[in-house]
């Protein structure tokens, strides 16, 4: 069955819109680091230019160990992450973390290598 030029054009537009919607939705983070996470700050690797807390609108406890949450402000790329849970005394720096949509898993090894 042949697709008409119109149908192909519609299919291409749909694929483009689907891809841009997925990246606009943020990144789903799954925490298996062994650490509770209530705050996350992002910087270019080695720059220590931390912006605002990208989990500000996410309730405390939503990204405790074993949980997942979509962080709308998190984008693809390689970054240093500063994570914390102030009430639990946690402050951790994860260096050179590569983030690719649609998801990021924070592993036990990443939690153990915190500085």
What is the domain-level CATH number for residue 91?
Answer: 2.60.40
What pLDDT is recorded for position 24? 58
What pLDDT is recorded for position 79? 98
Q: How many domains does the chain have?
A: 1
Q: Is residue 3 part of a domain?
A: no
> What is the rounded CA–CA span in Å between residue 92 and residue 90?
6
What is the tens place of the pLDDT at every residue in 53-111? 999 999 999 999 999 999 999 999 999 999 999 999 999 999 999 999 999 999 999 99
What is the tens place of the pLDDT at every residue in 36-48? 999 999 999 999 9
- Predicted TM-score of the model (pTM): 0.78
**Contacts (Cβ under 8 Å, ≥6 apart) of 9:** none
Output the 3-class SS for the chain. CCCCHHHHHHHHHHHHHHHHHHHHCCEEEEECCCCCCCEEEEECCCCCCCCCCCCCCCCCCCCCCCCEEEECCCCCEEEEEEEEEHHHCEEEEEEEEEEECCEEEECHHHHHCCC
The residue segments making up the domain with residue 69 are: 26-112
């Amino acid at each position: 069955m042949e697709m008409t030029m119109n149908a192909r054009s519609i299919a291409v537009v749909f694929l483009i819109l689907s891809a841009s919607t997925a990246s606009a939705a943020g990144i789903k983070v799954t925490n298996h680091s062994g650490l509770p996470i209530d705050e996350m700050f992002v910087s270019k690797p080695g720059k220590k230019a931390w912006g605002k807390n990208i989990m500000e609108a996410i309730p405390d406890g939503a990204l405790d160990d074993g949980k997942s949450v979509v962080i709308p402000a998190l984008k693809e790329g390689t970054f240093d992450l500063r994570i914390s849970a102030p009430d639990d005394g946690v402050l951790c720096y994860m260096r050179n973390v590569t983030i690719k949509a649609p998801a990021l898993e924070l592993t036990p090894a990443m939690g153990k290598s915190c500085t």
